[in-house]
Structure 1
Amino acid sequence: MKKYEVANIKEIHNKKPKIVEVKGIEIGIYLVDGEYYAWRNYCPHAAAPVCQGVVCGTRLPSMVYNYEYGRDQEILRCPWHGWEFDLKTGQHLVDPNVRLRNFPIEQDGEKLYVFLNR
Structure 2
Amino acid sequence: MGQWVPIAKTDEVTTGSSKECVVDGRIIALFSTEDGYYAIDGICAHAGGPIAEGALNGCVVTCPWHGWQYEITTGEHCLNPQIRLTTFPVKVEGDSVLVEIP
TM-score by length of 1: 0.77
Match of residue 14 from structure 2: 13
Give yes or no for contact 1:2–1:116 (8 Å, CA) kept in 2: yes
Match of residue 67 from structure 1: none
Unaligned runs of 5+ in 1: 57-72
Mapped to 2, the partners of 1:4 and 1:23 lie a distance apart of 10
Residue-pair matches, total: 101
Mapped to 1, the partners of 2:54 and 2:30 lie a distance apart of 13
Match of residue 106 from structure 1: 91
What is the RMSD of the two structures over their aligned residues, measured on CA atoms?
A: 1.4
TM-score by length of 2: 0.88
Amino acid at match of 1:2: Q
Match of residue 38 from structure 1: 39
Match of residue 67 from structure 2: 82
Amino acid at match of 2:46: H
Mapped to 2, the partners of 1:76 and 1:18 lie a distance apart of 12
Stretches of 4+ aligned residues off by more than 6 angstroms: none
Match of residue 115 from structure 1: 100
Identity of aligned residues (%): 30
Match of residue 29 from structure 1: 30
Mapped to 1, the partners of 2:54 and 2:74 lie a distance apart of 17
Give yes or no for contact 1:32–1:87 (8 Å, CA) kept in 2: no
Mapped to 1, the partners of 2:77 and 2:62 lie a distance apart of 10
Offset, 1:17: 0.5
Q: Which has the larger radius of gyration?
A: 1
Unaligned runs of 5+ in 2: none
